[in-house]
């Protein structure tokens, strides 16, 4: 293993994050506060409690997941797309690093950034509502696995994308709708029975449910299903990336 | 000297059928400077990209320092430094971090003294905290060279390193190249500036349409293929070459004040004595006579044109 190489990629990517720290930090704090104002105060005052949990607290796991997923994807996709766009990828391709090391460096950095933002949102939310964490270990595990798997997905998108437009396409058209329809702001038990069944095909439901369970001990679907879903998604992304490097698809002619 | 770089039967064909390299064979000895000349699209950059791992060869084998560039890519690539033709740099990062990144990427531990030395030699030390986007084109090219040198390569590829840069940088770079050569680094240079190859290369390779036309010691090449030019200055101008001199294929120079004659130094007879006699018989008076060797550029143009006629 070329650990110096992994660390070099990781540091270089993190440097981009630190350069835009204010933006990286302020943006999630501001958007979380806005969600609390709109959902927590305006709507929350009418709903009050969902499954015995104060509505303001109920939406926190969904809010964190929304940011961790979208940030994981956008950081990793941008991280690998930018060298392709600039042409600096020549160095990566001619360096003594293999695909495991490249993925570790880029995905590791992207996952770190999205986890950082997740923690910032968690801290901001704690200022607005009482936030018990029933299973801290599980909460960390879900957050790590979600940021890693969505960063892996972002890496695939970054390699696939041929323009900045395409880079935005999947997060915008797929991930955000799935998160909004995945029970981020409601419990799926609040839906009519037919939509409860349909929503079970949305993989994000399992992630939000499992993450919410780690806070409140209550879940829409069994926690084991959530763990299987996130692990399965991670393995799928890893398999696609292994194929990409083996075939050289869109990176090495 | 053992070959540090060995290219055997390397072919590169793209999916659309275009054959960028046609069974290239080349051996490069340790410590030499090889200049690869060729017109645009000849396959120079493809050859370098294939050696460095940016593209994969369709067939054939490449070894660097005895290591196969595919089977043992880590050992092979550790030995290689690449200065690409295009200025590809992350614009928002500083010079120092960009160069440090390259060293780390190649698996080497941080070495601030070495990076300082490289940056000083390339006159970049004062700019080490500057962002790449703040640098001029010439400075950016220096950064590319610094990055390539950061992991102490044994084989350095310079792909058109002085394209569009000023005379000062070109001279700085030649000095760096001379130092590297003295330290035993092998250098493969592609260039459009033939005088550059003439000034610094030990051997010259000519590539055209994916084929190596020749690889020859620079001096031997110039001696073998060199034409010399004899210029006869006249005391008064003439409007045309006298008919009695038609057999010598002369051209008029300097507004009719000189006659220009090309001859092959390797030929059995140069024809100079007969020409001078014929000029005297034609009633022309000689003011001065000078000869000069044709440059590598003239040889190169002649060679490529000759091949094109054959093709």
pLDDT values of chain B reduced to their tens digit, one per residue, 311 residues: 568 999 999 999 988 889 999 999 999 999 999 999 888 888 999 999 999 999 989 999 999 999 999 999 999 999 999 999 899 999 999 999 999 999 999 999 999 999 999 999 888 999 999 999 999 888 899 999 999 999 999 999 999 887 777 787 788 888 888 999 999 999 999 987 777 888 889 999 988 889 998 898 988 877 766 678 888 998 888 888 888 888 888 888 877 889 988 887 767 778 888 888 888 888 888 889 998 876 677 777 777 777 666 65
Low-confidence ranges of chain A (pLDDT < 50): none
pLDDT (0 to 100) of residue A253: 60
Closest Cα to residue B75, out of B84, B85, B62, B89?
B62
- Whether the CB of A246 is below 8 Å from some CB of chain B: the reply is no
pLDDT (0 to 100) of residue B42: 87
Cα angle vertex A220, ends A216, A222, to 5°? 90
User: Distance between CA atoms of B157 and B170, rounded to whole angstroms?
Assistant: 16
Closest Cα to residue A206, out of A69, A50, A31?
A69
Asked if A183 contacts A161 with a C-beta cutoff of 8 angstroms, the reply is no
pLDDT (0 to 100) of residue A193: 87
Closest Cα to residue A63, out of A171, A213, A212?
A212
The two structure tokens encoding residue B95: 């010079």
| A-B Cβ pairs (cutoff 8 Å, strict) | 84
pLDDT (0 to 100) of residue A103: 94
Chain B residues within 8 Å of chain A (Cβ atoms): 14, 52-56, 73-75, 77-78, 80, 82, 84, 86, 88-93, 97, 100-109, 147
CB-CB under 8 Å, A96 with B74: yes
CB-CB under 8 Å, B91 with A12: no
Q: In this complex, which of B78, B90, B103 lies closest to A88 when CB atoms are compared?
A: B90
Q: What is the pTM of this model?
A: 0.84
For residue B117, give every residue at least 6 positions away whose Cβ sits within 8 Å of its Cβ, in sequence order, or none.
none
Q: In this complex, which of B89, B97, B104 lies closest to A15 when CB atoms are compared?
A: B97
CB-CB under 8 Å, B103 with A86: no
pLDDT (0 to 100) of residue A102: 94
User: Distance between CA atoms of B137 and B195, rounded to whole angstroms?
Assistant: 22
Closest residue, chain A, to B77 (C-alpha): A96
The two structure tokens encoding residue B214: 């020749």
Q: Which residues of A touch B97 (CB under 8 A)?
A: 12, 15
User: Distance between CA atoms of B70 and B67, rounded to whole angstroms?
Assistant: 9
Query: How many residues in total does chain A contain?
Result: 253
Q: In this complex, which of B75, B97, B105 lies closest to A9 when CB atoms are compared?
A: B105
Q: Which residues of B touch A4 (CB under 8 A)?
A: 104-109
CB-CB under 8 Å, A12 with B93: yes
- Whether the CB of A97 is below 8 Å from some CB of chain B: the reply is yes
In the DSSP assignment, the letter for residue A38 is I
The tens digit of pLDDT for each residue in A65-105 reads 988 998 899 899 999 999 999 999 999 999 999 989 999 99
User: Distance between CA atoms of A161 and A84, rounded to whole angstroms?
Assistant: 10
For residue A239, give every residue at least 6 positions away whose Cβ sits within 8 Å of its Cβ, in sequence order, or none.
none
In order, the DSSP letters of B36-87 are EE--TTSSHHHHHHHHHTSS--SEEEEEETTEETTTTHHHHHHTEEEE-SS-
Closest Cα to residue A25, out of A128, A124, A129?
A124
Q: Which residues of B touch A11 (CB under 8 A)?
A: 101, 104
pLDDT (0 to 100) of residue A177: 87
pLDDT (0 to 100) of residue B226: 66
Alpha carbon of B288: minimum distance to chain A alpha carbons (Å): 56
Cα angle vertex A227, ends A225, A228, to 5°? 65
């Amino acid at each position: 293993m070329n650990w110096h190489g992994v660390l070099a990629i990781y540091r270089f990517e993190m440097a981009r994050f630190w350069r835009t720290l204010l933006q990286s930090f302020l943006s999630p704090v501001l958007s979380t506060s806005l969600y609390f104002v709109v959902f927590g105060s305006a709507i929350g005052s009418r709903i009050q409690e969902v499954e015995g949990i104060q509505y303001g607290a109920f939406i926190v796991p969904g809010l964190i997941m929304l940011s961790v997923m979208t940030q994981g994807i956008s950081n990793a996709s941008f991280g690998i797309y930018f060298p392709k766009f600039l042409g600096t990828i020549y160095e990566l391709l001619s360096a003594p690093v293999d695909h495991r090391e490249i993925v570790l460096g880029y995905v590791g950095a992207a996952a770190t950034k999205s986890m950082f933002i997740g923690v910032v949102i968690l801290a901001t939310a704690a200022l607005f509502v009482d936030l018990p964490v029933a299973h801290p270990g599980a909460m960390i595990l879900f957050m790590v696995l979600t940021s890693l798997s969505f960063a892996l997905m972002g890496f695939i998108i970054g390699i696939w994308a041929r323009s900045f437009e395409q880079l935005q396409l999947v997060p915008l058209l797929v991930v955000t709708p799935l998160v909004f329809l995945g029970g981020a702001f409601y419990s799926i038990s609040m839906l009519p029975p037919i939509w409860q069944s349909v929503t079970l095909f949305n993989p994000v439901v399992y992630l939000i449910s499992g993450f919410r369970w780690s806070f409140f001990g209550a879940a829409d679907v069994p926690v084991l299903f959530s763990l299987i879903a996130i692990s399965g998604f991670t393995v799928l992304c890893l398999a696609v990336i292994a194929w990409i490097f083996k075939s050289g698809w869109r990176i090495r002619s | 000297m053992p070959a540090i770089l060995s290219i055997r039967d390397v072919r590169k064909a793209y999916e659309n059928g275009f054959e960028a390299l046609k069974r290239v064979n080349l051996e490069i000895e340790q410590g030499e400077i090889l200049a690869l000349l060729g017109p645009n699209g000849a396959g120079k950059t493809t050859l370098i990209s294939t050696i460095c791992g940016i593209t994969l060869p369709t067939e054939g084998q490449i070894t660097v320092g005895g290591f196969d560039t595919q089977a043992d890519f880590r050992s092979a690539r550790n030995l290689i430094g690449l200065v690409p033709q295009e200025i590809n740099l992350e614009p928002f990062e500083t010079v120092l971090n960009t160069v440090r990144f390259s060293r780390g990427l190649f698996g080497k531990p941080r070495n601030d003294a070495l990076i300082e030395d490289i940056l000083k030699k390339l006159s970049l030390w004062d700019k080490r905290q500057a962002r790449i986007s703040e640098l001029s084109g010439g400075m950016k090219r220096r950064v590319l060279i610094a990055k390539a040198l950061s992991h102490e390569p044994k084989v350095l590829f310079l792909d058109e390193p002085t394209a569009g840069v000023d005379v000062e940088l070109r001279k700085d770079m030649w000095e760096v190249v001379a130092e590297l050569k003295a330290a035993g680094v092998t250098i493969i240079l592609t260039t459009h500036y033939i005088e550059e190859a003439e000034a610094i290369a030990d051997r010259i390779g000519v590539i055209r349409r994916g084929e190596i036309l020749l690889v020859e010691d620079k001096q031997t090449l110039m001696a073998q293929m060199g034409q010399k030019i004899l210029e006869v200055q006249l005391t008064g101008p003439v409007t045309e070459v006298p008919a009695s001199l038609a057999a010598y294929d002369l051209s008029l120079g300097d507004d009719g004040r000189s006659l220009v004659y090309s001859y092959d130094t390797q030929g059995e007879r140069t024809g100079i004595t007969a020409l001078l006699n014929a000029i005297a018989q034609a009633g022309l008076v000689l003011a001065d006579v000078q000869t000069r060797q044709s440059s590598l550029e003239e040889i190169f143009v002649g060679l490529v044109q000759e091949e094109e006629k054959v093709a």
